[in-house]
Amino acid sequence: MKKINYIGTRDKNIKATASQAILKGICEDGGLFVPEEFPVLDKSLEELSKLSYQDLAYEILKLYLTDFTEEELRYCINGAYDEKFDTPVIAPVVKKGDVSVLELFHGRTIAFKDMALSILPYLMKTSAKKNGMEKEIVILTATSGDTGKAALEGFAGVDGIQIIVFFPEDGVSPVQKLQMTTQEGANTCVVGIKGNFDDAQTAVKSIFTDAVLGAELSNKGFVFSSANSINIGRLVPQVVYYFQAYLQMVKMGEIALGDEINVTVPTGNFGNILAGYFAKQMGLPVKTFICASNENKVLYDFFTTGTYDKNRDFNVTTSPSMDILISSNLERLLCILSSQEKCKELMTSLNTDGKYSLDLTKGIIKGEYATEEETAQAIKAMYDKSGYIMDTHTAVAYAAYEKYKKATADETKTVIISTASPYKFTKDVLVAIDKKYETMDFFPLMDELEKLSGVEIPMPIKGIEKRPILHNTVIERDAIKDFVKEHLTK
């Protein structure tokens, strides 16, 4: 099999094997790792359609993580995709109304981040072993809500690894917050910050590229890595479910093998949709990706005008995991579609002016967005039509898809990527269906949602409001670096 190396998005001379790239998380110059080229499938879609999720994952991952042995990969995959998921299919497709919905919320934290973060700790431990790494790995994670919990759940109790999570104190849902602040595990640390997700992400990125701090902590026996979607070890496992979704649509008779589909992805940091783009590059028949944004529609503007401009107000919406103005993974697409030189220029411009231009308006990724009102209407419309209750992020995607379809008359069979269980956003979801829920408290509403949807309250969050709070530190956004230093050296 062909060896795939990873190179920097801002400098093609930065080179790493897959396991090295997973350990590093980010390049020394602040760039991200991208595969030097896209691997090609060595099996037909028909052959892949006979495989379990785990075996399909192996067929995809082996093409990207080429310095892992079969035994290592199977160990990682089987450890990740097991009974932690509440269905053996792992990522089921359901037909609702006129669309297929790929449900990525059947893992332990009931959001799609579980798809990658249940395997990342295994990949990282294995990478450390392969590279003779003896230092203690410190995972630093900025979260808009879902990554933090999924990373904590994945890394809690893993020896040789510590994890510190920063979340916007006022920017996550009550369930999301409790999921994190009740996290057990001596190697876990959860910190609220007075700021938004971009503040947290920017601070964390600057720690990774701070050579002085890096050297200081290295002397003390620590090395930083990332569980954010900037880590290639998170991106690659997400390629798998795009194949799985397609093959399920074939089995359900929605499409014939070889037909093209459209994919609509509720997007924030651009990690999920980029994995879909990787799948397409490997041969998955996708015609169009609809990149769905909420009112923080910086990506919609980029894909429709060719200019990315983060100089705008930040909106706190009911889909907080998409409240992002700096979409980190977009850098990978820019690099793939232009060059390292160009990408570096664009990122410098983003740093200094907060904007850049590159015309991707004619590509296969189309931007759409949904306002708060359209999102709420989409939840209600889907519920009225089929009794199915979508979470707010999925609803952004559904609303965006409906707008896209209206504008283009494109009738291609479409899969909506569903990224969270409605229980994570119980109140917003129920209020969208009926205003009478407005005055009710969040947690009693979970019982209402159970009645209305006929879907049981997921085990991982049942009774969460009664669990003891184990983390209650809140810090200023500019205190993140000092906090990390102190936490590790005390």
Binding site for ligand PLP (CB under 6 A): 111-113, 146, 229, 266-272, 321-322, 393, 419-420
- Other C-beta atoms closer than 10 Å to the C-beta of 156 total 16
Contacts of 380 (CB under 8 A, 6+ apart): 432, 433
Tell me the three state secondary structure of residue 405. helix
Q: Where are the alpha helices (DSSP H) in 53-92?
A: 53-64, 70-80
Nearer to ligand PLP, 123 or 128 (CB): 123
Q: How far is the CB of 321 from ligand PLP (least distance, A)?
A: 3
Q: Clarify whether 113 is annotated catalytic.
A: yes
Q: Which tokens hold the place of 134? A: 């003896």
Q: How far is the CB of 257 from ligand PLP (least distance, A)?
A: 28
Pairing of strands 136-142, 222-226: parallel
Instruction: State which residue, 322 or 358, has the beta carbon closest to ligand PLP.
Output: 322
Q: In sequence order, what are the residues at sequence separation of 6 or more whose Cβ sits closer than 8 angstroms to the Cβ of residue 408?
A: none
Question: In sequence order, what are the beta bridge partners of 142?
Answer: 166
Residue 112 or residue 483: which is nearer to ligand PLP going by CB? 112
**CB of residue 105 to ligand PLP, shortest distance in Å:** 8
CB nearer ligand PLP, residue 284 or residue 292: 292
Q: In this structure, which amino acid lies at residue 53?
A: Y
Kindly name the residue from 113, 205, 424, 427 that is annotated as catalytic.
113
Q: Which is nearer to ligand PLP, 68 or 242 (CB)?
A: 242
Tell me if residue 234 falls in helix, strand or coil.
helix
Q: Is 157 strand, coil or helix?
A: coil
Residue 48 or 420: the one with the smaller Cβ distance to ligand PLP is: 420
H or E stretch covering 356: strand 355-357
Name the minimum Å distance from CB 178 to ligand PLP: 16
Closer to ligand PLP at the Cβ: 9 or 229?
229
Q: Which is nearer to ligand PLP, 264 or 321 (CB)?
A: 321
Q: Is 37 helix (H, G, I), strand (E, B) or coil?
A: coil
In the bound complex, what is the minimum distance in angstroms from residue 423's beta carbon to ligand PLP? 12
β strands within 82-177, DSSP E: 93-96, 99-103, 136-142, 161-168
Q: How far is residue 31 from each of residues 102, 147, 311, 337, 422, measured CA to CA in Å? A: 31, 21, 22, 15, 35
* Residue 151 C-beta: closest distance to ligand PLP, Å: 12
Cβ contact 250:48 at 8 Å: no
Tokens of 353: 């002016």
CB-neighbour burial class of residue 70 (10 A; exposed 0-12, middle 13-18, buried 19+): exposed
8-state DSSP, 361? T
CB of 292 to ligand PLP, least distance (A): 9
For the CB of residue 115, give the shortest distance to ligand PLP in the complex, in Å. 10
Q: CA–CA separation, 306 vs 289, rounded Å?
A: 17
In degrees to the nearest 10, what's the CA dihedral of 121, 123, 125, 129? 180
Let me know if 165 is exposed, middle or buried by CB neighbors in 10 A (0-12, 13-18, 19+). buried
**Catalytic residue numbers, as ranges:** 113
